[in-house]
Structure 1
Amino acid sequence: MKLFIYDHCPFCVKARMIFGLKDLPVRLVTLLYDDVTTPTDMIGQKMAPILQKNDGTFMPESMDIIHYVDGLDGNPILLGQNNPAIATWLNHTYSYANKLLLPRFANADFEEFATDNARRYFTDKKQSATVNFPALLADSADLIVQLEDDLQTLSTLIVSPDAVNGVLTEDDIQLFSLLRSLSIVAGVAWPNNVETYRNRMAKRSEVPLLLDMEQ
């Protein structure tokens, strides 16, 4: 199978995770961010991730891909009960996370930004009159303080370093994809158990963190 992705994309991270967690082979193909034609030819629109199945057909949408791959062998692993408190934490943190993430993604050395045109396409799409990347970078300090406070809250919700609820659930997919994105933000003080969970999940899912990528 092939999985077409953008490395920075948390939805793509979700789809990548299930292959690592189940120790299944997959060929990762990184699309240039300004390549509209390739994904449109596959699924009718520009988006990622896209799974190319062994029969040659294509499947979009990260959670659909996860459920499909998890069930292929008849032994799904994401069977545990989700914790509503994790969803609440995620919703709250996502309300401001992109102000930290988008300007850093735009400057980082991702394969999808291998050409100037691809990087410019991302910047033009994500920036606006009210979302200015240089200004967001300059004003990061208060948001980092807020993030550190929220990470302290998250630390009280982590049951095990191997799975946030003690056994693997969809909460692990949702939570690690955001924590992996946030690993690009330099200068954040991570609570010990959150950092341990983040690092353990990166190893288990075979999705490396974004440490040292901030420009």
Structure 2
Amino acid sequence: MKLHVFDSCPFCVRVKAVIGLKGIECEISPMVLGEMPTSLEGKLERFSVPVLEETHPETGEISLMVESLDIIRKLDQLHVSPLNQPMFDSYELSEALELRLEQLKPVTAQLLYPRMPKLNLPELATAQALDSFVESRKGVLGQSIEQALEKTELYLPQLEQQLELMEQEIDVEGLISGRRSLTIDDIAAFAELRNFTMIAELTLSENMQAYIEQISARPHIATYPPITR
């Protein structure tokens, strides 16, 4: 199996976390923005990441799967036995987390997109990919990434308020204290929170920082170096 990803894509991180947690043999294949891998050309109705590519061992036939939660369901139920049970009881995010992630989108775009070109991301490894990213973000942000970066202090309180609410809704303390087990909400929340580690000006609560570190360590998914304006 091969998983095609962008490093900064939270949906890709969701799947990578499960692969790491379960110890599944799967090649992680970073993609460059604007460059379609040959094995995927003409085979997707619409291009999105992650893409799980699986080659049948006997026929050589290639099958593709998209949508992070569908991929996670498939991977979590591989080789199920009395000694190897699925990690999750559900593969649907809670309504509370879905709503919180939706409310986070506008402010996180303003804070994250300006920092991504400074991180040497695999998806922005070529000059063409970087130029395309910077130019396309203008329409999303309603301003240049440089202008958004200068307004960090304007957007930061909005992010911090959303994260305070998220911490309570997903019971961060319950996981780090061992009072409850890992859920699909934790995987999705971590995938978003990992990106926030690139914001040097963001101060996370002790519990939220411990939560990120605890989940990050198990599948060995590194967080980002902090980027300041």
5+ residue gaps, structure 1, are none
3-state SS in 1 of match to 2:28: strand
Aligned 8 A contact 2:111 2:155 in 1: yes
What is the TM-score of this pair, normalised by structure 2?
0.83
Aligned 8 A contact 2:201 2:228 in 1: no
Aligned 8 A contact 1:43 1:59 in 2: no
Change (3 A) 1:162 1:13: farther
Q: Which residue of 1 aligns with 2:69?
A: 63
- Paired with 1:7 and 1:213, the residues of 2 have a C-alpha distance of 16
What does 1:69-108 correspond to in 2, within 5 Å? Answer: 69-74=75-80, 75-79=85-89, 83-108=94-119
- Paired with 1:144 and 1:49, the residues of 2 have a C-alpha distance of 29
Q: Which residue of 2 aligns with 1:152?
A: 164
Say which one has the larger Rg. Answer: 2
Aligned 8 A contact 1:155 1:191 in 2: no
CA positional deviation for 1:153:
2.9
What is the TM-score of this pair, normalised by structure 1?
0.88
What does 1:1-215 correspond to in 2, within 5 Å? Answer: 1-36=1-36, 38=38, 39-55=40-56, 56-74=62-80, 75-79=85-89, 83-128=94-139, 130-156=142-168, 157-158=171-172, 159-161=174-176, 166-212=180-226
- Paired with 1:127 and 1:21, the residues of 2 have a C-alpha distance of 37
- Paired with 1:142 and 1:162, the residues of 2 have a C-alpha distance of 34
> Which segments of structure 1 move beyond 6 Å, counting only runs of 4 or more?
none
- Paired with 1:123 and 1:46, the residues of 2 have a C-alpha distance of 20
5+ residue gaps, structure 2, are 57-61
- Give the aligned CA root-mean-square deviation in angstroms: 2.4
* Percentage identity across paired residues of the two chains: 24
